[in-house]
Copies of this chain bind each other. A is one copy, B any other.
Amino acid sequence: MSRSRTEEVPVGVPRNYLRPCLLLLLAEGASHGYELLDQVAALGLERADPGGLYRCLRAMDAEGLVRSDWEPSTSGPARRNYSLTDEGREWLHAFAGSLAEVARALSAYERRYHKLIEQHELAR
């Protein structure tokens, strides 16, 4: 393998991270897919896939976590506006708790990593 260190390293955000992101943004206020696509960038998904995002929204709609209704627009195509349901809000809290666990795991990793680096520095 001739992959250099400068190349993209394959460690992504947690699996299913898109869902809690969308739920959080919708908890802050109703919105539509195209806008959410920009907003998720602030949560670490700078290159979110539009297709995946729309699919995720449709799935959560089908599962009852969000509600959607069409809003015709005078300046462009119609938008499908999403808002959070009570069930979606419950899931948001569950997801947040779960993400907190992941964050704890990551900080455990970093503590341990830096401890290792420290020892390595001392050893020279």
Contacts and interface: CB of A to CB of B under 8 A. Distances in A.
Interface string A81-124: 00000000011111111111111111111101100100000000
Copies of this chain, whole number:
2
Contact of A21 (B24, B45, B102, B109): B109
A14 B90 CA distance: 23
B104 A44 contact: yes
Interface residues of A, number: 47
A10 interface: yes
A102 B5 contact: no
Contacts of A12: 14-16, 102
Nearest to A114: B96
A103 B116 CA distance: 19
Interface in A37-79: 42-45, 63-64
Given A11-B98, A12-B15, A103-B103, 11 more contacts: A5-B90, A5-B91, A9-B94, A9-B95, A9-B97, A11-B15, A11-B17, A11-B20, A42-B108, A100-B110, A103-B110
